[in-house]
Amino acid sequence: MLDPKLVRNHLDFVIEQTKKRGITLDKAKIISLEEQRKKIQTSLQELQNERNTLSKQIGITKGKAAKGEASNADVDTLMQKANNLGTSHLELEKELEKVQNELNSILEMIPNIVHESIPYGTSEKDNKEIRKWGEPKKFTFTPKDHVDLGAKLGMDFDIAAKISGARFVVLHSKLARLHRALIQFMLDLHIKEHGYKEIYVPYIVNADSLFGTGQLPKFKDDQFAVSADHEAYLIPTAEVPVTNTVREQILEAELLPLKYVCHTPCFRSEAGSYGKDTRGMIRQHQFEKVELVHIVHPDKSYEAHEELTKHAEEVLKRLELPYRVVALCTADIGFGAAKTYDLEVWMPGQNCYREISSCSNTESFQARRMMARFRDPKTGKPELVHTLNGSGLAVGRTLIAILENYQDEQGAITIPKALQPYMDNCQVIKPA
């Protein structure tokens, strides 16, 4: 969430920034609500001053009445006036709450201000390639995509559809083992070499947690609610529960940075994506990720952003999968992000690069929603932390990248050397 003072005092700047994302704010409505808020607050302050003055008069009049210098009727008159002022005060508070709720509903839907370094664009076509690693393999045959390869390796969408519906998969035998090996490999790399602390979290979160990281209220339709009152949801990513571990806390500065790695399943309804990436494992309702989360001092967040991105890249390097790093433009960047790098892995069966990780710096956007702070040792006052997150990596997409990049003409898959120790030194998965 943006600082309300920023929106209040620099509304034109906020409107200009959100336009870069293709979003138009209702300036007239925001100004009207702000004027109402100020007017009601002024009236409340005047009313409170009047109540304070009247309270003193009542005390003095009661004292005089006790001495016979004033009548009880005088006291009753003042008391009635006080009651009337109290009723008026209560009505004004209700009006203020209504106006404030309207302002909050607007504020909650305003995206983060993008960092000055990200490219301007009107669609994902305007994303900017930053660097590439690895050369796509030149096949002597036409490479298959993961769906055709997986059909003979133990990847079953039909059984999954019978059990659960569309956009689910069942993995058998060595393919399931490869999926598990990837998770263990990623966790070991990030913990042993990149200095992350492993954390295990619930897979169900409350609405406050989803609000804190920006999924609610804007992306409510993308969530899987598991309670009738919509107060409990399956997690769309480990980013939600992990980042919320610092919600409503004031951390000591020496504890920063916090670097967490977490493996979880993720659940997304994919509302609005019907007809898009419906083939295979690219876009599913249930998938797994190894997530990286940083909680850092504001002065260190862009340094941490580069570090987190390189940690995710290292997974692809160890697996020898060609990829590129792309800076998302203003039209494609996520709601809460100030800057995002996407890692896109080469998929020869699809003859294109596909996203396999998004590494984002949200600056203080999530922290303000969560009230996640640290105590500044210079001032002794609480300040908002900066939060970052990224996939390190999406497990299913990494698996299909391996299938497509390591296939031979018979449909057998060579296991990347980095994964062989996690598969009892198995070197090849052969089709049935």
Q: Which residues are catalytic?
A: 268, 283, 355, 358, 397
The residues pairing with 220 across neighbouring beta strands, listed in sequence order, are none
DSSP conformational letter for 220: G
> From edge to edge, which strands make up the β-sheet containing 373-375?
250-252, 373-375, 382-384
Query: Which tokens hold the place of 228?
Result: 């009738």
How far is Cα 103 from Cα 34, in angstroms, rounded to an integer?
8
Query: What Cα–Cα distance (Å) separates residue 245 from each residue in 48, 288, 372, 387, 418?
Result: 40, 20, 9, 12, 32
Helix (H) or strand (E) holding 104: helix 72-107
Count of beta carbons in the 10 Å neighbourhood of residue 344: 20
Query: Which tokens hold the place of 381?
Result: 């006052």
Q: Which amino acid is located at 328 in the chain?
A: L
Count of beta carbons in the 10 Å neighbourhood of residue 430: 12
Query: Residue 273, Cα to own-chain centre: how many angstroms?
Result: 19
DSSP conformational letter for 196: P
| Widest Cα–Cα separation across the chain | 111
Query: Which tokens hold the place of 16?
Result: 């200009």
| Burial status of residue 340 (CB atoms within 10 A of its CB: 0-12, 13-18, 19 or more) | buried
Residue 170 backbone class (left: φ over 0; alpha: ψ -120 to 50; beta: rest): beta
**Residue in the block written with tokens 């079953």:** 156
Q: Which amino acid is located at 362 in the chain?
A: T
Main-chain phi, psi angles of 191, to 5 degrees: -80, -50
Mark 177-189 as b/e (b = at least 16 C-beta within 10 Å): bbbebbbebbbeb
Query: Which tokens hold the place of 48?
Result: 């409170």
How far is Cα 112 from Cα 7, in angstroms, rounded to an integer?
12
| Burial status of residue 131 (CB atoms within 10 A of its CB: 0-12, 13-18, 19 or more) | exposed
